[in-house]
Amino acid sequence: MQLRYSFRVYPSAGQRMALARAFGCARVVFNDALRVRETARAAGLPFVPSGELSKQLTAAKKTPERAWLTEVSSVVLQQSLRDLDIAYKNFFDGLKGKRPRMGAPRFKSRKDNRQSIRFTANAGWKITAGGKLRLPKVGDLAVKWSRALPSTPSTVTIIKDAAGRYFASFVVETDPEPLAATDGVVGIDLGLTHFAILSDGTKIDSPRFLRRAEKKLKRAQQNLSRKAKGSNNRTKARIKVARAHGAVADARREFHHQLSTKLIHENQAVAVEDLAVKGLARTRMAKSVHDAGWSAFVTMLEYKAAKYGRTFHRIGRFEPTSQVCSACGVKDGPKPLHIREWTCGACGTVLDRDINAAVNVAKAAGLAVSACGARVRPRLVPAQREKTGTHPKTSRTSGSQAGISVF
């Protein structure tokens, strides 16, 4: 399986200029190729293939207007064309229903928050004996190696984020690392008040990193709004805002990594619900939904399960997990969000809404979990019609009462 390992890099002033030149050249090539295809589409001409675009790029390097494209690695420019092909493929696949819909490819700007270039093995990049990353026409970059790479990388992507930080992202081929088998299985219900509710009754509070940093972000944004446009002070203020948002994103990512690793190590099988995050992000809960970062967390669970030999289940979003009693399986209908605890009308079991949903998530995935973890409280109910008139002692020793198993 392929995994991506990211490390912080610290280019010198001259290397930052070389990287900026590479970012700009890759962006120009992408925009030129997109313009050629859009012009052909507007004229009713056939779709321009990538081979033709590559030929036009080679010819453009020989013209005075685009001669400066030769100052960067040719692999970077070819990978920019590859990125355009991927953008078109994702767009067309969305129209065909093969994946979620995406917008058509758009022109890139030098003001975009994220700039990136990619080097493949053909570019001749390598990691030196001194632990530096040597890139063609850039130089040796200092890298903060936080861990060892499991194998030789196939590609490296240099990324510059909105805060001005540089990262090297390596794609490596790794073998699965199966963990020792365990009997634990868990269903997970994701929420806002509690980030995750497990089928064993555990509730994990939501850290709410964005909410906790709102005051700091507000002050930084107000300070930015007071700066004159185009001034150096505005640039400094913008970087401060970006760094504040980056700190929130880093803390959220670290929380997701720690929790997902813990769940994968402790359980043989994990089940989650496929949430409609895009729909929820259009409601009044949008800020809290984005702050939770459910999609990133579920993605981590999925790839870590594959890496460590665990089983990952994703059940459909239309599964009525909050409407079905986990004790008897009777569907009791939808309930408003303010109802956090409810009583089953069929068996009389008092259920915690979130834990009950987590148990149903596990059961929908075919995992053998017990409803006893759902904090159920059986109460006395009238005897069934076929048992009326029997002696009280007989009914207590019969093994069931109104559908409730005797514990």
246 contacts 163 by C-beta, under 8 angstroms: yes
Euclidean distance between CA atoms 25 and 148, whole angstroms: 32
Q: Could you tell me the two tokens for 325?
A: 């009693």
DSSP 85: H
Q: Which two tokens stand for residue 147?
A: 């861990």
Longest dimension (CA), the chain: 102
Pairing of strands 269-273, 185-190: parallel
Is 52 among the catalytic positions? no
- The sign of the torsion formed by the CA atoms of 367, 371, 373, 374 equals positive
CA atoms of 156 and 172, how far apart (whole Å): 9
The catalytic position among 189, 200, 291, 302 is: 189
Q: Burial, 168: exposed, middle or buried (Cβ in 10 Å; 0-12, 13-18, 19+)? A: buried
> Of these residues, 83, 291, 352, 354, which one is catalytic?
354
**Which of these is catalytic: 200, 273, 291, 352?**
273
Amino acid at 299: T
6 bridge partner residues: 169
Count other C-beta atoms under 10 Å from residue 184's C-beta.
14
**Cβ burial 348-357 (10 Å sphere, 16+ → b, else e):** bbbbbbbbbb
Query: What is the token pair recorded at 278?
Result: 């895009």
Q: For residues 59 and 41, what is the distance between their CA atoms, to the nearest angstrom? A: 22
Q: How far apart are CA 197 and CA 359, in angstroms?
A: 9
Burial class, 362, CB count within 10 angstroms (exposed 0-12 / middle 13-18 / buried 19+): buried
Tokens 């409407």, residue?
Answer: 323
| Residue 205 designated active-site | no
Task: Establish whether 354 is a catalytic residue.
Answer: yes
Q: Are 169 and 5 in contact (CB under 8 A)?
A: yes
Residue 160: in which H helix or E strand, if any?
strand 155-160
Judge whether 375 and 201 are in contact, CB under 8 Å: yes
How is 292-347 classified by DSSP, letter by letter?
HTHHHHHHHHHHHHHHTT-EEEEE-TT--TTTB-TTT--B-----TT--EEE-TTT
For the chain, give the number of residues: 407
Q: Which residues are catalytic?
A: 189, 273, 354
